[in-house]
Amino acid sequence: MAAITDLFPLPEPSPDGHDSDDSDADRPHGARVSGHADLSTRPDFEEFLLALCRQAEGDVHLDFAELDFIDISGVITVVRAAGSLGEGRFLVLHNPPPSMRRILELLGPAAVARSVRID
């Protein structure tokens, strides 16, 4: 099951490569995703992502470093959620697994480029 391990402000790296001590209010917000994101977990995963996108001001960041598995339905859920963001806002993917990158490539730039960025 896909799980959102926590909501977080992403630390902004300082010029020396370490996290800065700036206020959380000025940092981008997002979530860490773990477990599986597939057809069986899609409804809950989609509900969470859409709520996160509705509540966020600016870009939304997702860290997939702890994700064990994602299939095409999970990737399409991410793309749909990104499409719900307003003009000029992006869903920024951190540490997407190789399978996710490949599915995004196959979906092509028309489906992804307007609202998804990979960091």
Return d(Cα 39, Cα 60) in angstroms, integer. 23
Question: Given pLDDT bands bounded at 50, 70 and 90, which one contains residue 1?
Answer: low
DSSP one-letter code for 13: B
Whether residue 12 lies inside any domain: the answer is no
Question: Given pLDDT bands bounded at 50, 70 and 90, which one contains residue 86?
Answer: confident
Whether residue 33 lies inside any domain: the answer is yes
What's the pLDDT score for residue 26? 55
Whether residue 2 lies inside any domain: the answer is no
Whether residue 108 lies inside any domain: the answer is yes
pTM over cut 0.85: no
For residue range 21-80, what is the model confidence (pLDDT) as tens digits?
444 455 567 899 999 999 999 999 999 999 999 988 889 999 999 999 999 999 999 999
Q: How many domains does the chain have?
A: 1
CATH code of 74's domain: 3.30.750.24
Based on its alpha-carbon atoms, the radius of gyration of the chain, rounded to whole angstroms, reads: 14
**For residues 116 and 79, is the Cβ–Cβ distance under 8 A?**
yes
First to last CA, the chain: 24
Whether residue 17 lies inside any domain: the answer is no
Domain with 89 in it: 28-118
